[in-house]
Amino acid sequence: MDTSLQYALDQDQKDVLHAFRDMFHIPKTSSGQDIIYLCGNSLGLMPKSTSMYVNQELDDWKNLGVEGHFHAKNPWMPYHEFLTDNMAHIVGAKPEEVVVMNSLTANLHFLMVSFYKPTSKRYKILFDYSPFPSDRYAIESQIRFHGFDPQEGMIELTPDAGSETVSLTHIQNILERHGDEIALILIGGVNYYTGQAYDIKTITAMGHAKGCVVGFDLAHAAGNLLLHLHEDGPDFAAWCSYKYLNSGPGSLSGCFIHERHHQADLPRFAGWWGNDKKTRFLMKDEFVPIPTAEGWQLSNPPILSMAAIKASLDLFAKAGMDRLRSKSEQLTSYLEFLVLQNGNNTLNIITPADPNQRGCQLSLQMTNPNKKLHEYLTKHGIIADWREPDVIRVAPVPLYNSFEDVWRFNSILAEGLIQF
């Protein structure tokens, strides 16, 4: 690597995925220049094909009405099934272990109905360091719902001394001390604040060895990391689709339930779309769950949102997660290299340097927090994001970001660091 613009341009010429950038709408500045968009960890950009996919369903609704459930180009009755294979591939699961439904926090609640089964002796939940607030609220409310005190029932991971990240040794030590009290481990696949990626396979094995149920919130991991959920063996997982999966604001969530639980007599909140497909429309009183992840569905799916998901998943299928992950490692390492070349002690990279412990996000922590630096970046055509109290999160997404994007970001960052 070197710091020249020519190096970045050369890398873009070599990039086998570079053409995918043209398949996305890139926001523009007021002068018509491409925004340097490094915020796909918050909301992914819109594929150009999304309008066509959504308009197809609008046209079928307009022309067919209720008959669209059976006679639309993509019939609505089984529409969620059109997403399953591609989504399962992205998270490394069997198709029968995956379903797209509801929103992320709603799915975490529904999954905890099945998998958080506290007793008087084992009722605690071990969860991520500095989790996204919605996860904290969900965990706290579930513990309270079951009649326990969240102050006693919540065990939050803490970073290792002198670090912002959590080691496997630290997690193991907590399980050695409290494993017999922990009913559920619920950790983010990637910590939203630091960008640390957790070792799902090892954490799952450690948790299961102590008799804990293990689940993951993969909001910042799905479409970002190479995942192997079936092989790694967590009991469940959920993720949103509007970050790296580019499905649009507030779009639906994905769920994983390992196949070993499909035939189990687990508690669940039921709805008609999870009922046996052969008898669903007979409107019988008895609920017979579909013996796959689909058995956790409640209502018939929102087709327009799923059409947007389908547009993005089709692009992922063409690009391939292996190639995306390879480019992601190169882009993120290049970003790290450039930031470190600035030689400025105003910023520390708190995301792990090991590519195996991070996705495409780098979290830049200010030693003397000053949001004016982030405002400077925004003023100069960069969309990243600020997380209180002191972090600028930057995510070069391999589907649509370029090495030139990274180079231009760092040039503007270097100018800003001189001023602030």
Residues 6+ apart with CB under 8 A from 221: 188, 189, 190, 197, 227, 239, 359
Distance CA 78, CA 69 (A): 8
pLDDT digits (tens, 9 = 90+) for 30-49: 999 999 999 999 999 999 99
Quickly list DSSP for 15-38: -TTGGGGGGBPPPB-TTSPBPEE-
- Residue 344 scores a pLDDT above 80: no
CA angle 168, 169, 172 (to 5 degrees): 85
Which one-letter amino acid corresponds to residue 277?
K
Tokens standing for residue 258? 């390992």
Q: What is the arithmetic mean of pLDDT over 82-101?
A: 98
Query: What was the pLDDT predicted at 252?
Result: 98
Q: What is the arithmetic mean of pLDDT over 258-285?
A: 94
The single-letter DSSP state of residue 160 is P
Beta bridge partners of 257: 236
- Residue 77 scores a pLDDT above 80: yes
Weakest mean pLDDT among 172-176, 209-213, 243-247, 278-282: 278-282
pLDDT digits (tens, 9 = 90+) for 144-174: 999 999 999 999 999 999 999 999 999 999 9
Q: How confident is the model at residue 370 (pLDDT cuts 50, 70, 90)?
A: confident
Query: What was the pLDDT predicted at 29?
Result: 94
Quickly list DSSP for 333-394: HHHHHHHHHT--TTEEE-S-SSGGGB-S-EEEEESS--THHHHHHHHTTEE-EEETTTEEEE
- pTM score: 0.96
- Collapsing DSSP to helix, strand or coil, 240 comes out as strand
Which H helix or E strand runs over 272? none
- Cβ(216)–Cβ(189) below 8 Å: yes
- Residue 17 scores a pLDDT above 90: yes
pLDDT digits (tens, 9 = 90+) for 380-402: 999 999 999 999 999 999 999 99
Q: What is the arithmetic mean of pLDDT over 194-216?
A: 98
Distance CA 18, CA 4 (A): 19
The values of phi and psi at residue 199, to 5°, are -80, 95
pLDDT digits (tens, 9 = 90+) for 292-340: 999 999 999 999 999 999 999 999 999 999 999 999 999 999 999 999 9
Q: What is the arithmetic mean of pLDDT over 218-240?
A: 98
Residues 6+ apart with CB under 8 A from 167: 160
- Residue 27 scores a pLDDT above 90: yes
Domains, in order of start, for the chain: 5-48+321-419 (3.90.1150.10), 78-317 (3.40.640.10)
Q: How confident is the model at residue 270 (pLDDT cuts 50, 70, 90)?
A: very high
Q: How confident is the model at residue 343 (pLDDT cuts 50, 70, 90)?
A: confident
Query: What was the pLDDT predicted at 159?
Result: 96
Distance from CA of residue 33 to its chain's centroid? 29
Distance CA 283, CA 280 (A): 6
- Residue 232 scores a pLDDT above 90: yes
Quickly list DSSP for 55-104: HHHHHHHHHHGGGHHHHSSS-STTTTHHHHHHHHHHHT--GGGEEEES-H
Q: How confident is the model at residue 287 (pLDDT cuts 50, 70, 90)?
A: very high
Backbone conformation region of residue 176, classed left if phi is above 0, alpha if psi is from -120 to 50, else beta? alpha
- From residue 324, alpha-carbon distances to 93, 116, 189, 244, 319 in Å are 18, 35, 18, 11, 7
